[in-house]
Amino acid sequence: MKPHFPFPDLLKLVALASLTAALPLRAAEPAFKLRVATVAPRGSSFHQSLQTMGEQWKSAPGGGVALDIYPGTQGGEPTIVRRMNPRVGQLDGAMLTAIGMQQIDRSVSALQLMPMMFRSWDEVDFVRERLRPRLEKTFFEKGYVVLFWGDAGWVRLFSKKPIQRPADLKPMNVYAASGDATTVELLKDFYNPVVLEPDKILSSLQTDMINTVPSPAFLANFLQIPTVAGHMLDVNYAPVVGAMVLTRNAWDKLPPETRAALRKSGEVNGVEIRRSSRNEDTAALATMREKQHLQVYTPSPAGLQEWQTDIAKVYPKLRGTVVPADLFDEVQAALAEFRSGKPAVK
């Protein structure tokens, strides 16, 4: 009997091995997963920046991290923070503004909740970096890690009727975010605040439940607010400042080398997010003027001074209630230092 050599079978195996080698290898699934939310809508620069960062995190040392992002689907920021609570555990983190962060600790209100305190992004950056170590330590002690800081443009007033002077604002029904009854109460000195969730803004404008919306330009443009409220007061009412915040429960599960890589990535992405969001703020204003025929009112120097003087009346009430007194004083001291051009001697 002739010896049998299974050439056909052998050839099949060789061919299969060659084909398998030619196919791209499936990347290993990241060892860790983080579920994060933002009120920023899908497709916004915030969402895109988080997606870019998520791609980077997949190859982080220690096994990589998959970032599941939920843009504009988890409710307002107070709701998002509740979902991050360890007892609930539905989210591991979020990109929050000061509105959401103050649900964890009031200290961050010093960066946003003092209307017309800041005049420029340079001032915002200076004060944020001055307060940053203290704020991050406070959040860490509360069970949260601040990975990086971002912002989302200046809050401006969009309205159905022109607002040019403080007296024009007084009778208006103005959207107010939920979750901060103290601040809402103080606002009653200036207008009639109406507390709503963000997803109710446009429909409430259409039904006249509200007629004015304080909003950063990118969000007003995305929601098409000028199609209903076609007037805007061009005053930098307040910067929208925030941060990427993770729960320590989720953070502590990551290996040290992974945490170090995420911090490094966060610093780089924080700079990029601030740059792109500020550019988007400017671009959104131009788009709304051109395509939605937004009417913009820019006050004269005297008119701006009238706004600043009127708004400053609330500062004594903010100090110690909305903003911790020592932080309020530190912000004012830092701004005085910055404006003088003479850094204080430490």
DSSP state of 72: S
Q: Looking up tokens 């550019």, which residue turns up?
A: 279
Chain centroid to CA 280? 13
Q: 10 in a domain, yes or no?
A: no
Q: What is the mean pLDDT of residues 45-50?
A: 80
14-23, 80-89, 176-185, 212-221: segment of lowest average pLDDT:
14-23
Model pLDDT, residue 311: 92
CATH (domain of 240): 3.40.190.170
By the 10 Å C-beta count (0-12 exposed, 13-18 middle, 19+ buried), 300 is classed as exposed
Q: Are 292 and 225 in contact (CB under 8 A)?
A: no
pTM of the model: 0.83
Q: What is the mean pLDDT of residues 152-170?
A: 94
Non-local CB neighbours of 249 within 8 Å, separated by 6+ positions: 86, 89, 92, 143
Q: 317 in a domain, yes or no?
A: yes
Model pLDDT, residue 81: 93
Model pLDDT, residue 87: 86
Distance CA 102, CA 205 (A): 27
Q: 7 in a domain, yes or no?
A: no
The total of structural domains in the chain comes to 1
Non-local CB neighbours of 185 within 8 Å, separated by 6+ positions: none
Strand, helix or coil at 234?
strand
Q: 211 in a domain, yes or no?
A: yes
Model pLDDT, residue 342: 63
* Amino acid symbol at 248: R
35-44, 77-86, 156-165: segment of lowest average pLDDT:
35-44
User: Backbone dihedral region of 50: left (phi > 0), alpha (psi from -120 to 50 degrees) or beta?
Assistant: alpha
Q: 3 in a domain, yes or no?
A: no
pLDDT tens per residue, range 321-330: 989 999 999 9
Distance CA 114, CA 101 (A): 15
Non-local CB neighbours of 136 within 8 Å, separated by 6+ positions: 146
Q: Say if residue 5's pLDDT is above 50.
A: no
Model pLDDT, residue 6: 42
Q: 218 in a domain, yes or no?
A: yes
pLDDT, mean over the chain: 86
Q: 5 in a domain, yes or no?
A: no
- Scanning the chain, the segments in alpha helix (DSSP H) are 7-22, 45-57, 77-84, 98-101, 121-141, 166-169, 181-187, 201-206, 217-223, 248-251, 256-291, 301-311, 315-318, 325-340
Range of the domain at 65: 28-340
Of 160, 163, 277, the C-alpha closest to 218 is 277
